[in-house]
Structure 1
Amino acid sequence: MHTTIRTRLTLAFGGLFLVSVTIVLFAANRMVEQSFDGSVSVRSEVSQDGPVRHPRTVRVGPDPEDVMMAVRDDVFSSQWRITLTSIAVMGVTAFGLCWWLSGRALRPVHQITGTARRLSLSNLGERINMKGPRDELKELADTFDAMLERLARSAEDQRRFVANASHELRTPLAVQRAAIEIGLADASPERVAAMRVELLRSTERSERLIDGLLALAQGERGPRARTPVDLAAAVRRAAEEYAAADIEIELDLRPVAIAGDDVLLTRLVDNLVQNAVRHNHPGGRVTVRVAPDAGLVISNTGPLVDPGRVEELFQPFRRLHPDRIGSAEGAGLGLSIVAAIAAAHDASVTATANPEGGLTVHLSLPGPS
């Protein structure tokens, strides 16, 4: 049998009230009966032990003790009828009041339930906005509204991510199609050679994009197993791999071990060093410091960055310049992959714009568990 919370609350509180009232009234009646019986007994003893007087006249009539007992029986009978009637009336009243009060108390729950039933991806902007005192139900409604806010942001980020990924994938496909159509229109050796170069460049861009998307998914999923990873050694390998002839790389490395996935953490370090070298200018400088207290700090010279747009760089497909065609060297996923891997390892990453140009990225290591 299906029973609602309102029914259970009514039965519980109404039943408790009815049982309590019944016990109190029955106890009061018993105490009155015992008190009356004790008073009659005392009067009888006084009458028997007292001085015997011989009245001048003898009256014949009912015995006073019998009259008192008859009155007692009538009074107690009437008292018990009133008590039972009162219990019945108070029981009905108690259950009715409990039903009404529980309905008012559960009204916010019905409001939350109705809002949850109406929700879908098309109306995640709806909120409960419960008014009233700051109690448990108000806190529950506010928590539900905060959850809806996070879901709305997540859905919006997902839609934006799908749109950007579709745009990024469509661009190289369009280039490939145009190269094939134009190149095959005049299949001269020179045209075929130019088409081959263009197709290779477009294919490499698609591969970088797919590789970045896979790395982002792996970073959000987190490490499958945690092993000690030497962060300084990973930085040293990345500096050797992405070193450029016209970029000076300064290293200040101290042994630091972090528990995590070696592949993911290596990808994090590679992305930071590669970005610092790529987004630089000839004769520029990259400074990398690794220390137990400071974590990983990497700074570079380069073009001026708007401080208000630094946080955007940690979002997928966000670049400093708005055009997509001129950014064939990257898909705009580097720092978003770094942020995902850092979050999966209980670390945090922040960036600040340097006054002279470039960025300073700080990876804070997780505290001891």
Structure 2
Amino acid sequence: MHRRPGWSVRLQLTLSYAGFLMLAGALLLGAAGLFLLRKGWLRTNEEGAWQQSPGTEIVRGFAPTAAAVMVFLLVFGLLGGWLLAGRMLAPMERITRAARAAAAGSLSHRICLPGRKDEFRELADTFDMMLAQLEAQVAEQQRFAANASHELRTPLAISKALIDVARADPHHDSGELVDRLHAINTRAIDLTEALLLLSRAKQRSFTPEHVDLSLVAEEAAETLHPLAEKHGVTLETSGDIAPMTGSPALLLQLATNLVHNAIVHNLPHQGTVWVHTGVRPRTVVLSVENTGERLTPRVVATLTEPFQRGTERIHTDQAGVGLGLAIVKTITEAHDGTLTLAPRPDGGLRITVELPAAPGG
């Protein structure tokens, strides 16, 4: 935004300080002069006329002194105000330099303003906190972009290699080639759709509607019931009605991802998944637990990062594209909720999503 140049804050503070000092000096000298003037005139004759007394000479002699004092106050006010304003605004100059560095792309710079807490230091600390958050977000976006590029490049590279092999060997089985290309393209489409869904959730581009989270969880469980039977997993649902406001489509995707994750990362045989909804004073809760191998807290802490599939968990052909729990986390944050992951003592994982309840619900 283009702005016309104006006076600096330091100059404005200097003039304000000097003006206030001049005003105080003028009032003080005016009061002293008025006092001397009243003492310099006395009613002495019988006709009631004013007669000048020797005190008037004091008033006349006081005027040049008062003028000299006013000049001194002006010079002193300007000089002192300039120095004091510069000292008071020194922290603001550091904050300005840090802001310019951030605008130029340097997010690693910090103000680290010393001294006790005041308005400037509180502003500097807030600015440092903002820079730290921006730096973390930019680093996360760069890491996500690099991982997404790698994940998308892999199926494209495999498709190109298969096509090159088919061109070099015209007698190669075309049916097998088509099947493999279909599987690779399906994976690439799934990854692209997951990335689009993740972007949509981050932008919160949805209109909140009334949703019963328990019905959403039941729908996700019914949809994935054939997959649970295929993997020999018992799927159990329970809970209370959980009214809230949000995006039905995104919440269904959240529940589906949680249940799918619990099914495919389970015991090889006779595994179990528990889906439960509940209501708390101001929130509704969806929890999904599953049996499985024991997980360390270090592994659990990384599961919501994009393209993290959990190297210590059981891998299957249904491992997905590595964005399932990342999408769950983003959808939860888009609904102002909290996501908690905790390893179960007997093995497996417990995931809890807590979301704001519907007003009056």
Please give the TM-score of this superposition, normalised by the length of structure 2.
Answer: 0.89
| 1:368 Cα offset (Å) | 5.6
Instruction: Check if 1:14 corresponds to 2:1.
Output: no
In structure 1, what is the Cα distance between the partners aligned to 2:104 and 2:303? 27
In structure 1, what is the Cα distance between the partners aligned to 2:116 and 2:317? 54
Instruction: Check if 1:33 corresponds to 2:37.
Output: yes
Instruction: Check if 1:129 corresponds to 2:133.
Output: no
| 1:234 Cα offset (Å) | 1.4
| 1:338 Cα offset (Å) | 0.8
| 1:36 Cα offset (Å) | 3.5
Aligned to 2:188: 206
Corresponding residue SS for 2:221:
helix
| 1:170 Cα offset (Å) | 0.8
| 1:120 Cα offset (Å) | 5.5
Aligned to 1:280: 266
Q: Is the 8 A contact 1:124 1:148 kept in 2?
A: yes
Q: Return closer, same or farther for 1:365/1:7 CA change in 2, 3 Å cut-off.
A: same
1:171 pairs with one of 154, 164, 168? 154
Corresponding residue SS for 2:352:
strand
Instruction: Check if 1:219 corresponds to 2:201.
Output: yes
Instruction: Check if 1:261 corresponds to 2:262.
Output: no
Q: Is the 8 A contact 1:223 1:345 kept in 2?
A: no
In structure 2, what is the Cα distance between the partners aligned to 1:117 and 1:329? 45
Which is higher, the Rg of structure 1 or of structure 2?
1
Q: Is the 8 A contact 1:272 1:335 kept in 2?
A: yes
Aligned to 1:341: 331
Instruction: Check if 1:235 corresponds to 2:222.
Output: no
| 1:304 Cα offset (Å) | 2.2
Instruction: Check if 1:24 corresponds to 2:28.
Output: yes
Q: Return closer, same or farther for 1:95/1:316 CA change in 2, 3 Å cut-off.
A: same
In structure 1, what is the Cα distance between the partners aligned to 2:103 and 2:82? 33
Which aligned runs of 4 or more in structure 1 are off by greater than 4 angstroms?
A: 325-328
Instruction: Check if 1:145 corresponds to 2:132.
Output: no
| 1:314 Cα offset (Å) | 1.3
| 1:329 Cα offset (Å) | 3.5
In structure 1, what is the Cα distance between the partners aligned to 2:154 and 2:13? 63
In structure 2, what is the Cα distance between the partners aligned to 1:24 and 1:92? 17
Instruction: Check if 1:290 corresponds to 2:294.
Output: no
In structure 1, what is the Cα distance between the partners aligned to 2:81 and 2:211? 63
Q: Show the 5 A alignment for 1:74-89.
A: 74-89=57-72
In structure 2, what is the Cα distance between the partners aligned to 1:144 and 1:364? 30
Between stretches 120-129 and 197-206, larger displacement belongs to: 120-129
Aligned to 1:358: 348
Corresponding residue SS for 2:117:
coil
Q: Is the 8 A contact 1:14 1:98 kept in 2?
A: yes
Q: Is the 8 A contact 1:205 1:329 kept in 2?
A: no
- The CA RMSD over aligned residues, in Å, is 2.3
- Structure 1: any 5+ residue segments left out of the alignment? 49-64
- Percent sequence identity is 32
Aligned to 1:56: none
Cα deviations by residue, 1:311-365 (Å, 9 ceiling, x for unpaired): 2111211121299x98774111111111111111111111101122211011112
Between stretches 293-302 and 335-344, larger displacement belongs to: 293-302
| 1:166 Cα offset (Å) | 0.7
| 1:101 Cα offset (Å) | 0.4
Q: Return closer, same or farther for 1:343/1:308 CA change in 2, 3 Å cut-off.
A: same
- Aligned pair count reads 343
